[in-house]
Chains A and B, each alone.
Chain A
Amino acid sequence: MAHVRLSHVTKTFTRHAGRRLARQFLADWRRRSGGDRYTALEDVSFTLGQGESLGVVGPNGAGKSTLLSLVAGLTAPDSGQVEVSGRLVPLLELGSGYHPDLTGAENVRLNAAVMGFTRRRARELFDRVVEFSGIGESIHEPLRTYSSGMVMRLAFSTSIHVDPEILLIDEVLAVGDQAFRAKCMEKVFEVQRNGTLLLCVSHDLDVLERLCDRVIWLAGGQVASYDRAPAVLEAYRQHVGVKSGPSPVAGP
């Protein structure tokens, strides 16, 4: 059975990663200190199994995206265990890996392969992906001629049709126009009904309320609260000063 289990996971990053000089690198290596570090996540534990959906809320920089990267296995924790079993699809940043000079169709095929489709499944699902995206004939035009909304629609359609057992969603439900957004939500609910586990980061608390059983509230890399969705969301709303119900500042 598909499940995700994190126990006492801590993740730190080196400051200035990627632009250090060899001199500093050697100094750090000699001291074995790893240099100037900051903690993105500290002692995070949760379990997700059996058709559950978990939401993640928190201010920018609280460690929400880091959490999803860890679950996706894109980055490794400094301590603690990340245990994932099942076909996992991360929907972290729509349109990443898409190339403007390739046509929509070529991009769909490429990303189908990247997300783990087999050649045959990619062929089978191609028409459904294109139909869902509503791109129509433009599918054979280079991606650079698309509007940004169209790119997002195509990217969402490809990802959602991969048929995941575990779906990680990072702020990608606010895609395209109102009609397409509603279609996306409907599709996510359908995927959820079919037993896919959801791990969903969003600033749209109403979306989380509809989608998730439980919610983690992250603050400064630590779990501030982890409980049933209505309770955590209510507390979070009060904390950030947003009234319940449709709110003017919902969304990213």
Chain B
Amino acid sequence: MWRRDYFFLMAQLVARDFKIRYRNMSLGIFWSLLNPLVMMAVLTFVFTRLFPGNPIRHFHVFVLTGLVPYGFFALAWATATRALLDNPSLIKRVCLPREIVPIATVLANGVHFLIQIGLLVLLALAAGYGVNRYWLWLPVVLGLELVFVSGLSLASSALDVYFRDTRYVVDSTNLLLFWMVPIFYSFEAIPAAYHTFYQLNPIAAVVLACRNVLLEAKAPPASLLTKLTFVSLAALVLGWGIFARLKRRFADYL
């Protein structure tokens, strides 16, 4: 049997996405830093200057811990949903495992995510937050977010082949999520009745876990981690299943 080099293939596809996005821009890779920085500046201005008296310390770092995981999720999901329709030739003209196409798009966004995480950590250190052993939870939590986005993207990209409105549903959901994830407000401000809802929303859970680790120097609560793990894995299994069912007729619909 013919063994393909899937790692090489994935690396090439990720590199392609990455190069295409930045090749023709004079600022290049700095764009992936500029976007969260601008959002951070605007939100900090609004919630500390226009509405003064905000009790949250170092509001800019606080906001950025929300913006970075949310931004990765929103962008990765939206672009991966379009991935199959953006690359019809990879589906119709060459033999390759089709799951690889949306996942490569998610991973390409993951590269930007890593750069932004670097920025976040840098700003947290600059604001006086120290390194602690709970930082080891960061790769776990961010890895789970990657799993969640991959699962969701497998499902939505497959659906988008048949119903091209899927991408608009995704875009609207992302917009909604900006408010439903505690980006510019804190978890403590939320009435207790809604706490479970926030912990079941994986993106909110990731943001809360990042704040626990980076700003409060404590481990994320076990209940949150369990729910996050469960929901992320469920999304992956479900997404994979939906993709496997729908992929048979992709070539006929593209």
B249 touches A99 (CB 8 A): no
Q: Name which of B19-27, B118-126, B137-145, B228-236 contacts chain A.
A: B19-27
- Report if B8 contacts A (CB, 8 A): yes
Q: Which residue of B lies closest to A85 (CB)?
A: B1
Contacts A/B (CB < 8 Å), 9 sampled: A22-B163, A96-B92, A106-B19, A110-B15, A113-B13, A116-B2, A116-B5, A116-B96, A117-B5
Please give, as numbers and ranges, the residues of chain A lying within 8 Å of B163 by CB-CB distance. Answer: 22, 25
- Report if B253 contacts A (CB, 8 A): yes
Please give, as numbers and ranges, the residues of chain A lying within 8 Å of B161 by CB-CB distance. Answer: 18
- Report if B9 contacts A (CB, 8 A): yes
The distance from the CB of A135 to the nearest CB of chain B, in whole angstroms, is 19
Give me 4 other A-B pairs in contact (C-beta within 8 A), A75-B251, A119-B8 excluded: A99-B16, A113-B13, A116-B5, A142-B23
B8 touches A97 (CB 8 A): no
The distance from the CB of B6 to the nearest CB of chain A, in whole angstroms, is 9
Please give, as numbers and ranges, the residues of chain B lying within 8 Å of A76 by CB-CB distance. Answer: 248-249
A142 to B90, CA, bound (A): 20
A101 to B91, CA, bound (A): 20
Tell whether A13 pairs with B89 under 8 Å between CB atoms, given A113-B5, A114-B9, A118-B8: no
Please give, as numbers and ranges, the residues of chain A lying within 8 Å of B96 by CB-CB distance. Answer: 114, 116
Binding site for B on A (CB under 8 A): 13-14, 17-19, 22, 25, 69, 72-76, 86-88, 90, 92-93, 96-97, 99, 101-102, 106, 109-110, 113-119, 122, 142
How many interface residues does B have (CB within 8 Å)? 36
B95 touches A113 (CB 8 A): no
Please give, as numbers and ranges, the residues of chain B lying within 8 Å of A22 by CB-CB distance. Answer: 163, 165
Please give, as numbers and ranges, the residues of chain A lying within 8 Å of B20 by CB-CB distance. Answer: 99, 101-102
DSSP majority for the A interface? loop
A113 to B90, CA, bound (A): 12
Q: Which residue of A lies closest to B100 (CB)?
A: A114
- Report if B12 contacts A (CB, 8 A): yes
Q: Which residue in A93, A115, A119 is a CB contact (below 8 Å) of B89?
A: A93
Tell whether A69 pairs with B162 under 8 Å between CB atoms, given A110-B12, A114-B12: no
